[in-house]
Each structure stands twice: as structure tokens, then as C-alpha cells.
A = this chain, B = another copy of it.
């Protein structure tokens, strides 16, 4: 049960954007280079993120992207769902229709397992904001800068 590269790349890219767009717009070119991703592929993802109201764009030369809201107001779950669709482990939770091996939606006993999993995934993913991830990033960057300094000082 894996999420796709869409979800992984989107979350990494939006964190990167949050970290780097505090004073300047960021072009997809810049983000793609930092994360070593295809710019074309990121364009697809950011098209979706824009339509879902997570990022804003400025077109034309010197254009780029920025967050549509404060990083405290954007959750990881929101970003992941934007590109992945609903975080449900089985399709019947999306459309209410039975699949094979389940003849009656109302009587399906395994669904309580899938429903509980889905609820927890969403709750956990929505408890983490972009600001949390940005803070973690800055901390771990500063910590590793420190380590580097020590090495240089030897």
C-alpha cells in the first residue's frame, strides 16, 4: 500500500516552496533543480495544487509560485490528497460500491477495518502543517551546519 510519486514529490516540493518562497517567488525550474525532479512533471503537479487552492502562481518572466495560504494553514494531508485523491485504502469507501468478494455494502464486515484505517490516515496527515515541516527542516539544516563547522574546525 504505497502512495505514488505524485504524493511524495508534491509534499517535498511544497515544503521546498514554503522554505524558499518567503521573500521571492520560486520557479519550478528552481524547485526541480533542488529536488532533482523533472520540471515538466512538477508542472503537472503544481497545476493540480493551484486548482486546489494550495499554491498561487504568477505567470510570465520572473514569475513563479508561492503558497496560497500561510504554512500554518496548510496540512500535509491536504497536499497529499490534492494530487493523490482520497486517502482511502479501498475504492468502496470512495464510491459506496462493492467490489469483488463483497456482495453487500451494508453487510460488509471488513469495511470497518478499512474505514478505521482511512480515518486515522487522514487525521494524522491533517495534524501536520507545512509550518511543522518547515520548522523541522530549518532545525535539521542548522544542526547539520553545526556538524559541518565542527568538521572544518578540526
Q: Which residues of A contact B (CB under 8 A)?
A: 1-5, 7-9, 11-13, 15, 35-37, 76, 84, 87-91, 99-103, 106-107, 109-110, 112-113, 116-117, 120-121, 123-125, 127-128, 133, 136-137, 140-141, 144
CA A112 – CA B135 in complex, angstroms?
12
CA A2 – CA B93 in complex, angstroms?
11
With A109-B140, A120-B121 already in contact, 10 other A-B pairs whose C-beta atoms are closer than 8 Å: A1-B84, A5-B100, A8-B102, A9-B100, A15-B110, A35-B100, A112-B133, A113-B128, A113-B133, A121-B121
Residue pairs across A and B with Cβ atoms less than 8 A apart, 25 shown, are A1-B3, A1-B87, A1-B89, A1-B121, A2-B88, A3-B89, A3-B90, A5-B100, A8-B102, A11-B110, A11-B113, A12-B110, A15-B109, A36-B101, A37-B100, A76-B113, A107-B137, A107-B141, A109-B136, A116-B128, A117-B121, A117-B124, A120-B121, A120-B124, A121-B121
